[in-house]
Amino acid sequence: MARALGRALVRRGKPYSFPLLSPPSSAHLCTEGDGFQSSRVNIFDRDLKRKQRDRAAWLMRGKDEFVDSVAENLLDRLQDCRKAFPTALCLGGSLEAIRRLLHGRGGMEKLIMMDMSFDMIKVLKDTDEKFARNNLETFYVVGDEEFLPIKENSLDLVISCLGLHWTNDLPGAMIQARLALRPDGLFLAAILGGETLKELRIACTIAQMEREGGISPRLSPLAQVRDAGNLLTRAGFTLPGVDVDEYTVKYDSALELIEHLRSMGETNALFQRSNILKKDTALATAAVYQSMFGGEDGTVPATFQVIYMTGWKEHPSQQKAKRRGSATASFGDIQKHFGRGGC
């Protein structure tokens, strides 16, 4: 319900302010022209997300089991490919886990780490020596997934672990990733899916209805599994693959869940969010959460649905469906051939 409201309200959202590009001097910039701005729906406050990621850089604990298992699952896919990926780009989200768990997989020689938050990149760069490998050069860049600063046809792998669900224009970001890839390059992404934090959604809605007599979107709209396949096809990736994993993380209390979300930089960054959170509503939410979903052992579970997307940039060596009407045998003949001895 909160999600539906979020989507309905977004249309009236204020346009993305862009102080850098004042209209008269920047009319030639195609990305944020006036006409373009009105047609573009901005759901997430990217500035706020950037700040939240700054905060996450400070809150980040060394090890996070949920993030680690997602990163491990994502990196495991590299071992399924016989190809090596000499130049790789690692996009936002849990960069730290990716770097820590990489263990030389994928045959990378050059790895570019990109995140929106300077603090995050700084923290990673400062701890670089620990993970330095002889044959791996690592570079750090602050950049926005929506405006990918990467030259066309220059990468072999784009990997994004839990970051792309915060982009306003996910298809656009994926198209840019595809353009940056060389032919036969791989795009690997993990995003949070619609089932994520369903318990918290319910608890927030009930508590807000009860205390404030209305609801405001506290959780962001997330992609559904069926959208993920469409996204890959729309972005022009070949051999698209989507699979879903659900993780249940147990916390001692709902407040601990919020702490965890903060350390991951996954807290609310909707434009239409309510800036005020009353203390009693927050406590009521925690209480509702505990009473509705709390286990017998006193822990509260939280569901995280992670959608893994795999796509390749087109290359002549990849298998494709044959053109329509190009068959040389008819199904009638096949049936005659096999039908005789059959059942």
Partner 1 sequence: MVRVSRVLLFKDGGGGGGNSLLKVLSEILVCPLSKQPLRYCQDSRSLVSDAVGVSFPVIPCLAGAEESEIASAENPLGGKAFSATQELQIVNGIPCLVPKDGKLLEDQFKLKVDDSCIAKSES
Question: Which residues sit at the interface with partner 1, rule CB under 8 A?
Answer: 18-22, 25-26, 28-29, 31-32, 47, 50, 87, 110, 112, 116, 118, 121-122, 125-126, 137, 139-144, 147-152, 154-155
Q: Among residues 58 and 139, whose Cβ is nearest to partner 1?
A: 139
What lies within 8 Å, CB to CB, of 120 at 6+ separation is 53, 54, 56, 57, 95, 265
**CB 126 to partner 1: min, Å:** 7
The distance of closest approach from Cβ of residue 142 to partner 1 in the complex, given in angstroms and rounded to an integer, is: 4
Which amino acid is it at 332? G
User: What is the spatial distance between Cα 334 and Cα 339, in angstroms, rounded to a whole number?
Assistant: 8
Using CA atoms, how far apart are residues 244 and 246, in angstroms rounded to an integer? 7
Instruction: Provide the minimum distance between the beta carbon of 36 and partner 1 in the complex, in angstroms, as a whole number.
Output: 12
Tokens 């915060």 sit on residue: 166
Report in angstroms how near the CB of residue 264 gets to partner 1 at its nearest.
20
Helices 225-234 & 170-180, crossing angle to 10 degrees? 50
> Which of residues 31 and 248 has its CB atom nearest to partner 1 in the complex?
31
Q: Between the CA of residue 191 and those of 12, 125, 127, what are the distances in Å?
A: 26, 24, 26
- Closer residue to partner 1 in complex, CB, 181/219: 181
Residue 43 Cβ, how far from partner 1 at the closest point, in Å?
18
**Which C-beta is closer to partner 1: that of 89 or that of 288?**
89
Tell me the CB-side half-sphere exposure of residue 156, using CA atoms within 13 A. Answer: 14
Q: Which two tokens stand for residue 261?
A: 């979300």
Q: Which is closer to partner 1, CB of 29 or CB of 244?
A: 29
Q: Closest CB to partner 1 among 26 and 291?
A: 26
> How near is the Cβ of 313 to partner 1 at its closest, in Å?
16
Residue 78 Cβ, how far from partner 1 at the closest point, in Å?
20
Nearer to partner 1, 123 or 190 (CB): 123
The sign of the torsion formed by the CA atoms of 224, 227, 231, 233 equals positive
Shortest CB 153 distance to partner 1, Å:
10
Which of 173/232 has CB closer to partner 1? 173
Angstrom distance (rounded) from CA 259 to CA 77:
30
CA 82 to chain centre: 25
**CB of residue 125 to partner 1, shortest distance in Å:** 6
Nearer to partner 1, 176 or 305 (CB): 176
In 3-state terms, what secondary structure has residue 69?
helix
**DSSP characters over 206-263:** HHHHHHHSS----S---B-HHHHHHHHHHTT-EEEEEEEEEEEEEESSHHHHHHHHHH
Cβ count near 117 (within 10 Å) = 21
